[in-house]
Amino acid sequence: MILHEIFEKPVDRYIEGVIKADDEASLRLEVEEYVLTNEVAQRLESFFDAYKNYDGANGVWVSGFFGSGKSHLLKILAMLLENRFIDGVPVLDLFLPKCEDNEILRGDIKRAVAIPSRSILFNIDQKADVISKTQTDALLTVFVKVFDEMCGYYGKHGHIAQFERDLDSRDLYGKFKDAYKNIAEQDWTSGREQALLEGHNIAKAYAQVTGTDELAAMGILDWYRSDYKLSIEDFAEQKKQYEDKKNLKTDIPGTPGKNKTETKEPEPEYISKNSIHVRFGKSILKDEADVEEYVKAVKEAYLTAIRQGKRVQI
């Protein structure tokens, strides 16, 4: 037998040596090539247990040596929790075979994926290149920038993003972009990058969709610039508004079946036998009657867990 024949996949296939969190060029390959080691599986059990039983924690620290797979793990988790579709296949279906021998982890992952979520992956140094890293609010600025970009707004300038957000809240953003394109003969995504030179066209489009006087709309972005302030409270409120809005809309572009109502049997929860609490008042078994009484208590404890929809791994 030739050595390469004992491997399931071709040994000479291309494998990306460095996984970048914000690179989406080879997502399916990165999921399929991910190796779930026993140690990572154990850590993921703790992670998903905390994720499903949120109790005030708001962050997870992933640590490891250079090249140990931190970015790869982070990227897999982001896609898995969001359950993104890659080439028409949900990431959950691609990942579950990696833990087919661990029913507890499989069950935890399925329940975690059922929780609606949205992931934003970015390299903070790359996103911070347009601001001073000595600013006291530098971290907040980066978070606001990537959040604005994710929402489809202009992340490079917060006041323009706020202008777009205000139009969007009045269901006028799409109309404004159409009006601007007809007036300026270019897309708004190009025009907003030249906002200083496009003041007249912006005012004209704004006046057209809002019904205000064009003269009064002149310098609208200057007003937004002078009034724009950055605060954690405002950012939290914008994030809350986004979540509330998304909760009302279940159809997610590129996600087959998300806009349909489906009835499914609830996934059973797999638990370890060590988590079963047996109610038995004695610490020593001294005769057959004690053994029978203890066995009865154990049976009742296991059946109680099963009646609650749980499955016990022994």
Q: Establish if 160 belongs to a structural domain.
A: yes
11 and 105 both lie in a single domain: yes
User: What does the pLDDT average to over 183-205?
Assistant: 93
In a shared domain, residues 29 and 91: yes
16 and 75 both lie in a single domain: yes
Ordered DSSP codes for 54-98: -SS---------TTSSHHHHHHHHHHHHHT-EETTEEHHHHHGGG
Residues 6+ apart with CB under 8 A from 216: 207
* 180 pLDDT more than 50: yes
Q: Are 148 and 219 members of one domain?
A: yes
Q: Is residue 162 part of a domain?
A: yes
pLDDT tens-digit profile of 234-273?
Answer: 898 888 888 888 764 444 434 444 444 344 445 566 666 7
260 in any annotated domain: no
Q: Is residue 245 domain-resident?
A: no
Query: Residue 200: pLDDT band by 50, 70, 90 thresholds?
Result: very high
Q: Where are the alpha helices (DSSP H) in 152-271?
A: 158-169, 173-184, 188-191, 199-210, 214-217, 220-227, 232-248
**Inside any domain, residue 252:** no
- Give residue-wise pLDDT tens across range 66-106: 878 888 888 889 889 988 888 888 899 989 998 888 888 88
Q: Decide: helix, strand or coil at residue 312.
A: strand
For residues 130 and 98, state if they share a domain. Answer: no
Among the candidates 91, 113, 135, a domain finishes at 113
Instruction: Among 63, 82, 113, give the residue marking a domain's end.
Output: 113
Q: Which residues are CB-neighbours of 26 under 8 A, at least 6 positions away?
A: 16
| Stretch among 152-161, 193-202, 236-245 having the lowest mean pLDDT | 236-245
Task: Give the residue from 186, 189, 185, 140 showing the smallest Cα distance to 160.
Answer: 189
Classify residue 259: in a domain, yes or no. no
- Taking all residues of the chain, what is their mean pLDDT, rounded to a whole number? 81
For residue 65, what are the domain limits? 3-113
| Domain total of the chain | 3
Indicate the residue type of 202: I
What pLDDT does 281 receive?
78
At residue 248, the pLDDT reads 45
Determine the Cα–Cα distance for residues 90 and 27; give it in Å rounded to an integer.
12
Domain boundary at 113, 140, 155, which? 113
312 or 155, which is more confident? 155
